[in-house]
């Protein structure tokens, strides 16, 4: 099958959730299909990144948005009623070129990642799948609740996003999303016809055999420039470490990941807190901690950081919201907490009871191994695209 894979960002390096999802889906699909990558980008793509994708793609074409035209794109989009998330990625000066480029391949299927890129392909006369991945409108509603003085701005964007999510649905033959929780958040009468395709875990995490001599008691990994991850890092330092100290525990914390902003970098001046930036092999960060802690109370999608930590054999403590998307057995495969006291209680027990630490770590790794391999998730996507049915179950 000839598949044109359309993304709103070049899928390498895989330092963000959408890029990670696209990279592994392209890599998996390329084993049995001819993949033509079409990426929209706000910046030039380095040669080394193009070379990293070339083994999996028959052709690669990057269409660069003219950034100096962004004010016009945003204004035009606003007048048309488009959400800013869509207008920011829509360059009308390259839209026709994108369409002509895709048409020349006469693809059997067009797979479009995110509503951000959907306007480039919605009118094409080919079978098409839209991957919502997660629900952008819900993310904006969460921000509206958090930043109340400016909440009306986020609600305005959320309402436009929700309307666009409904409108764009009819222009695609099939639809996918990352979790059942996100599918249920999508305000569509036919949301039950959207196929749930979770992310997976790279086999390298399950097979990690590097040295294990953890320097840190607690570790949190993620794109530290992403709002919910920033909030989690601050919560760990400002709320959780004091709660643990009250229980007589003085623990060392590692915060690792790309793009730490000013507020996160400031945390490294606090005793027993270390902040790193981008790491060439993020597995080294997981291996350098004893317990993975992710106090995330907002955000969307499926948190790959949790799956990767579990695959690496770390017991994980996270929130109900995060585990609702993952579906692990709370209290056995994962530990769930929604307050600093609950987090502190779980961590205290893991620190003081090595047998319990090992049981949770082992159960979590087995859960990921049986439910979240990339090969299985890409297989679901492959079967769904190839099927004649619009909906092929969850």
Instruction: Give the pLDDT confidence score for residue 32 in this predicted structure.
Output: 96
User: pLDDT, tens digit, for every residue of 86-130?
Assistant: 999 999 999 999 999 999 999 999 999 999 999 999 999 999 999
Q: What is the overall mean pLDDT for the chain? A: 93
User: pLDDT, tens digit, for every residue of 134-171?
Assistant: 888 888 888 888 787 878 888 999 999 999 999 999 99
User: pLDDT, tens digit, for every residue of 307-340?
Assistant: 999 999 999 999 999 999 899 999 999 999 999 9
What does the angle CA 132 – CA 169 – CA 129 come to, to the nearest 5 degrees?
60
* Residue where the block lists tokens 């179950």: 393
Cα–Cα distance measured from residue 244 to residue 286, given in angstroms and rounded to the nearest whole number: 21
pLDDT higher than 70, residue 389: no
Instruction: Give the pLDDT confidence score for residue 185 in this predicted structure.
Output: 86
Instruction: Give the pLDDT confidence score for residue 391 in this predicted structure.
Output: 53
Q: How confident is the model at residue 394 (pLDDT cuts 50, 70, 90)?
A: very low
- Region 357-362: mean pLDDT is 97
User: pLDDT, tens digit, for every residue of 262-275?
Assistant: 999 999 999 999 99
Question: What pTM was computed for the model?
Answer: 0.89
Quickly list DSSP for 16-68: SHHHHHHHHHHHHHTTTSEEEEEEEESSPPPHHHHHHHGGG-SEEEEEE--GG
User: pLDDT, tens digit, for every residue of 209-263?
Assistant: 888 889 999 999 988 988 889 999 999 999 999 999 999 999 999 999 988 999 9
Among 338, 25, 325, CA closest to 183: 325
pLDDT higher than 60, residue 392: no
Cα–Cα distance measured from residue 292 to residue 218, given in angstroms and rounded to the nearest whole number: 6
Q: Are 174 and 390 in contact (CB under 8 A)?
A: yes
Q: How confident is the model at residue 15 (pLDDT cuts 50, 70, 90)?
A: confident
pLDDT higher than 80, residue 61: yes
Instruction: Give the pLDDT confidence score for residue 303 in this predicted structure.
Output: 83
């Amino acid at each position: 099958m000839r598949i044109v894979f359309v993304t709103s960002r070049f899928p390498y390096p895989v330092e963000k959730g959408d890029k990670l999802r696209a990279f592994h889906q392209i890599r998996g699909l390329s084993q049995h299909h001819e993949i033509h990558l079409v990426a929209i980008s706000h910046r030039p793509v380095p040669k080394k990144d193009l070379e990293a994708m070339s083994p999996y793609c028959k052709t690669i074409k990057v269409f660069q948005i003219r950034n100096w035209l962004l004010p016009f794109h945003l204004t035009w989009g606003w007048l048309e009623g488009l959400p800013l998330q869509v207008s920011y990625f829509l360059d009308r000066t390259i839209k026709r070129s994108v369409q002509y480029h895709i048409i020349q391949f006469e693809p059997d299927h067009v797979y479009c990642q995110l509503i951000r890129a959907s306007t480039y392909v919605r009118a094409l006369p080919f079978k098409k799948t839209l991957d919502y991945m997660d629900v952008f409108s819900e993310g904006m509603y969460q921000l509206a609740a958090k930043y109340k003085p400016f909440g009306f701005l986020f609600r305005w964007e959320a309402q436009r996003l929700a309307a666009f999510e409904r409108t764009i649905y009819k222009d695609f033959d099939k639809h996918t999303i990352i979790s059942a929780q996100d599918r249920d958040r999508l305000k569509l009468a036919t949301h039950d016809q959207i196929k749930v395709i979770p992310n997976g875990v790279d086999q390298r995490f399950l097979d990690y055999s590097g040295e294990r001599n953890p320097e840190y008691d607690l570790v949190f990994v993620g794109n530290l420039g992403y709002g919910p991850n920033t909030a989690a890092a601050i919560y760990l330092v400002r709320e959780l470490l004091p709660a643990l100290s009250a229980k007589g525990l003085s623990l060392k914390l590692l915060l690792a990941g790309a793009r730490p902003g000013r507020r996160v970098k400031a945390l490294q001046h606090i005793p027993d807190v270390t902040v790193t930036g981008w790491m060439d092999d993020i597995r080294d960060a997981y291996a350098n901690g004893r317990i993975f802690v992710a106090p995330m109370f907002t955000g969307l999608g499926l948190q790959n950081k949790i799956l990767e930590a579990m695959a690496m054999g770390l017991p994980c403590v996270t929130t109900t919201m995060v585990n609702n998307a993952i579906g692990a057995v709370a209290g056995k495969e994962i530990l769930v907490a929604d307050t600093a006291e609950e987090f502190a209680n779980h961590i205290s027990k893991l620190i003081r009871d090595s047998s319990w630490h090992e049981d949770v770590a082992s159960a979590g790794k087995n859960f990921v191994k049986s439910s979240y391999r990339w090969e299985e998730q890409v297989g679901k996507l492959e079967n769904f695209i190839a099927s004649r049915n619009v909906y092929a179950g969850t």
